[in-house]
Amino acid sequence: MGDPINVLVVGGGGREHALVWKINQSPLVGKLYCAPGNAGTSELAENVDIGAEDIEKLLDFARANDIGLTVVGPEAALCEGIVDAFATAGLKAFGPDKKAALLEGSKAFMKKILSDANIPTAKYEKLTDPASALKTLEKFNGKVAVKADGLAAGKGVIICQSHAEAAQAIDLMMVKRAFGAAGDSIIIEELLEGEEASMLAFCDGENFIMMPSSQDHKRIGDGDTGPNTGGMGAYSPAPVVTPKIESMVEKEVMGKVMEAMKKDGRPYKGILYAGLMLTDSGPKVLEFNCRFGDPECQPILMRLKSDIVPLLLASVDGNLKNLSAQWSNRSTVCVVMASGGYPGPYEKGKEIYGLKEAASTEDVVVFHAGTTLDNDRVLTSGGRVLGVTASGVTVAEAIDTAYEAVSKISWDNVVFRKDIGHRAVGR
Ligand code: AMP
Ligand code: GLY
């Protein structure tokens, strides 16, 4: 074994706490840092007061602290080229470079790669002016998804059930420019029906290693009602993803997109996240993300038995071919606890009670997202505050354990869904 490697995790949400938690278990790691981190990461790593998008400062920090591996959680810095900046400085950063991150950064680019590579996805058109967009609507039956081409912090997709709703969405994006430049070009696509699931892979530009399936709960309310959020809970595996679907996704989606990206001069490294709609005619790609999902990362990493650090390094170095990943066959469930009001306006600074009691529950890890330390009190500091994650022999057992831990935690005006994992139990 060589010298220990200092590792920097970039980001401060639940996903990054899970990454810190897993990386911290590796015997290969020397010092572990998280920028900016949260109250949870501060227990395992040294938090560094640099924002996740401040590439220059992150680079200075990595140089000054002999960082051997930087792991980037959120998409914004990846799409801005943080991996390129680090590579130019001779430093290893895990994730796609700017050219490859376009798979998440531009929906139009993603759709083009999909259609060029013949990967199943919703029928679509790309538009750059409102008049032709309105005209194009007539080709669809009114039920469409209108999507801003660029990054819009997860808000740039509007599901429309009628021509009138779609016309409004076009007006909002292209005329009112609600998402700024992200909406200057848009995608209109047919609505797909089915159940959603996600498949992720570690990628090294050429080879990839699949992770087990997962499913997210995007709506704020029980029974999938109310507005979309960043994700109110997740679980793994998603039983709706049968072994047959899994191998279809591996060959027909991941394999093909890796090949297409390489052919396009953008070999894909890092995490490739495929958001899928499982339709009657097979899995179709809804979106690609260029990073771990949050909260999908939490239940997935809880199942990873292998040391994650060699996988991350091999992705950067193009060596995944010689590795494999071992996964626990237990089920894992993450229940997100959020600030009342989220995803709308919410109050911060509420003291959180019961964290120690919850964390001492067997088979539970309480991942922090929007939390901050005030001496020895832990306060809320974001919309999604905690991701209480549990494992069990069955998904039902994992759900019970997660909610047992959730019941021990409280703060003023906390909200969480009561039905995380319900679809999996039905199967
Ligand atoms: P996206 O960011 O493209 O994944 O869209 C966000 C969410 O909108 C997805 O997770 C789906 O729930 C929904 N969605 C997007 N595109 C479609 C589509 N073509 N048909 C049905 N639902 C969609
Ligand atoms: N949970 C969905 C995402 O991270 O994009």
168 Cα–ligand 1 center, Å? 18
- Is the CB of residue 145 below 6 angstroms from any atom belonging to ligand 1? yes
Query: Residues near 282 by Cβ (< 8 Å), separated by ≥ 6?
Result: 120, 245, 248
Q: In the prediction, which pLDDT does 138 show?
A: 87
CB of residue 186 inside a 6 A radius of ligand 1: no
Question: How many angstroms does the Cα of residue 329 sit away from the middle of ligand 2?
Answer: 23
The ranges of the chain annotated as CATH 3.40.50.20 are 5-97
If you measure from the C-alpha of residue 4 to the centroid of ligand 2, how many angstroms do you get, rounded to a whole number? 32
Going by their DSSP bridges, the two strands 93-94 and 29-36 should be labelled as unpaired
Ligand nearest to the CA of 278: 1
Establish how many alpha carbons lie within 13 A of residue 369's alpha carbon, considering only the half-sphere containing its beta carbon. Answer: 26
- Residues 6 or more apart whose CB falls under 8 angstroms from that of 189 comprise 111, 122, 123, 124, 125, 144, 145, 147
* Angle, CA of 362, 366 and 370, to the nearest 5°: 170
Q: Is the CB of 216 under 6 A from ligand 2?
A: yes
Rounded CA separation 401/284 (Å): 33
* Residue 341 identity (one-letter amino acid): G
3-class DSSP state of 391: strand
Residue 294 Cβ < 6 Å to ligand 2: yes
Which ligand minimizes its atom distance to the CA of 214?
Answer: 2
Give the model's pLDDT for residue 427: 75
Structural domain 5-97, CATH architecture: 3-Layer(aba) Sandwich (3.40)
Strand-pair partners of 365: 389
Ligand 1 atom nearest to 122, measured from its CA: 19
Question: Does the CB atom of residue 196 touch ligand 1 within 6 A?
Answer: yes
Instruction: Extract the tokens encoding 178.
Output: 């609600």
pLDDT tens-place values along the chain, 427 residues long: 578 999 999 999 999 999 999 999 999 999 999 999 999 999 999 999 999 999 999 999 999 999 999 999 999 999 999 999 999 999 999 999 999 999 999 988 999 999 999 999 999 988 899 888 888 888 888 899 998 888 877 678 888 998 889 888 988 898 889 888 888 888 899 999 999 999 999 999 999 999 999 999 999 999 999 988 999 999 999 999 999 999 999 999 999 999 999 999 999 999 999 999 999 999 999 999 999 999 999 999 999 999 999 999 999 999 999 999 999 999 999 999 999 999 999 999 999 999 999 999 999 999 999 999 999 999 999 999 999 999 999 999 999 999 999 999 999 999 999 999 988 887 7
Kindly report whether the global pTM for this prediction surpasses the value 0.75. yes
Class of domain 195-322: alpha beta
CATH 1.10.569.10, domain 331-426, yes or no: no
Max alpha carbon distance in the chain (Å)?
63
Residue whose CA lies nearest to ligand 1 atom number 3 = 287
294 Cα to the center of ligand 2, angstroms: 5
Cα dihedral sign, 29-52-82-103: positive
Domain boundaries for CATH 3.30.1490 within the chain: 129-184
CATH topology of domain 129-184: Dna Ligase; domain 1 (3.30.1490)
* β-pair partners for 11: 36
Please give the distance, rounded to the nearest whole angstrom, from the Cα atom of residue 230 to the centre of ligand 2. 6
Both tokens assigned to 41: 């990461």
For residue 269, give the DSSP letter.
E
Domain with CATH 3.90.600.10 in the chain: 331-426
CA of 218 to the centre of ligand 2 (A): 8
